[in-house]
């Protein structure tokens, strides 16, 4: 860690990388309803290893820190979407119990399951969903509306458990699920921001607790949440989330759906490559 402060150029590169990461993550949060974790996690994973942290610890801290940043990003994004009247609060109220239970289960399972297995399974699912959204002429809707309970509880549980284990806000999963049930794309994106907040709060707390006293943590860490990364990324994510939200309400819904599909396709490929 001493090298970080003894080399001004290296320090500048680290700060610049984190600021740019925050910019991209914030814009994606507002535009696509994702918490930006799909950008934040890999950047932090490699940066922490530059600091001399082991790969295993780096991944846990990257996930925990990403969840912490998603709290601020989601709040900013939800406020912006709410002003447009796009957040479905009834959906959030209905899905919150399942998401929270899923987050708790996912946080516990994270220390027992091999991350590569989960990453591969999610990558395959995301790839298939993305292709359907890209090439389906009907927009990919499977039903005329949401299926009701208990299937919606299962959906929310899966979203919470998978998202917290890989440090994302859940939009990559919740948006395709909602649109598959003929949910309006703009409302799906806006509501996904709220789901991200429900995931991130208990998730970040869980990673602080599970990482408390762990050995080999990078400097400035509170459990598995790194305060340096959090402090540099969050200002940009909060600043840029409203920009993305405004774009989401300006763009044609069809283009927004196709854009999200391309994002999801690239994400699934990146995750699959990383798993090997």
Q: Where are the chain's structural domains?
A: 2-275
Q: Which of 25-34, 35-44, 110-119, 171-180 has the highest mean pLDDT?
A: 171-180
Measured CA angle at 186 (ends 181, 189), to 5 deg? 80
DSSP 225: E
| The pLDDT value given to residue 271 | 67
- Bigger pLDDT: 256 vs 199: 199
| The pLDDT value given to residue 2 | 47
Q: What is the pLDDT of residues 133-168, one digit of tens each?
A: 787 665 556 677 787 888 899 999 999 998 888 888
Q: What is the pLDDT of residues 179-231, one digit of tens each?
A: 888 888 888 888 888 898 999 999 999 999 988 988 888 888 999 999 988 98
Among candidates 143, 147, 245, 235, which has minimal Cα distance to 194?
Answer: 245
pTM above 0.85, yes or no: no
């Amino acid at each position: 860690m001493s090298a970080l402060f003894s080399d001004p150029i290296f320090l500048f590169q680290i700060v610049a990388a984190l600021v740019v990461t925050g910019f991209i993550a914030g814009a994606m949060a507002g535009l696509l309803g994702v918490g930006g974790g799909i950008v934040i996690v890999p950047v932090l994973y490699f940066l922490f290893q530059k600091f001399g942290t082991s790969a295993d610890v780096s991944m846990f801290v990257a996930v925990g820190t990403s969840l912490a940043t998603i709290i601020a990003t989601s709040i900013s994004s939800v406020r912006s979407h709410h002003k447009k009247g796009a957040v479905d609060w009834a959906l959030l109220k209905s899905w919150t119990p399942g998401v929270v239970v899923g987050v708790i289960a996912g946080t516990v399972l994270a220390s027992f399951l091999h991350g590569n297995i989960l990453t591969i399974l999610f990558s395959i699912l995301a790839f298939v969903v993305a292709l359907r959204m890209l090439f389906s002429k009907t927009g990919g809707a499977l039903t005329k509306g949401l299926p009701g309970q208990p299937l919606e509880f299962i959906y929310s549980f899966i979203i919470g458990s998978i998202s917290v284990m890989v440090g994302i806000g859940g939009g990559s999963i919740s948006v395709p699920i909602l649109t598959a049930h003929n949910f309006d794309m703009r409302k799906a994106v806006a509501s996904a921001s709220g789901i991200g907040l429900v995931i991130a709060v208990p998730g970040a707390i869980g990673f602080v607790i599970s990482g408390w006293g762990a050995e080999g943590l990078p400097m400035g860490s509170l459990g598995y949440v790194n305060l340096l990364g959090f402090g540099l990324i969050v200002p940009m994510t909060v600043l840029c989330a409203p920009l993305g939200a405004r774009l989401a309400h300006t763009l044609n819904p069809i283009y927004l759906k196709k854009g999200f599909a391309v994002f999801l396709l690239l994400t699934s490929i990146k995750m699959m490559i990383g798993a090997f």
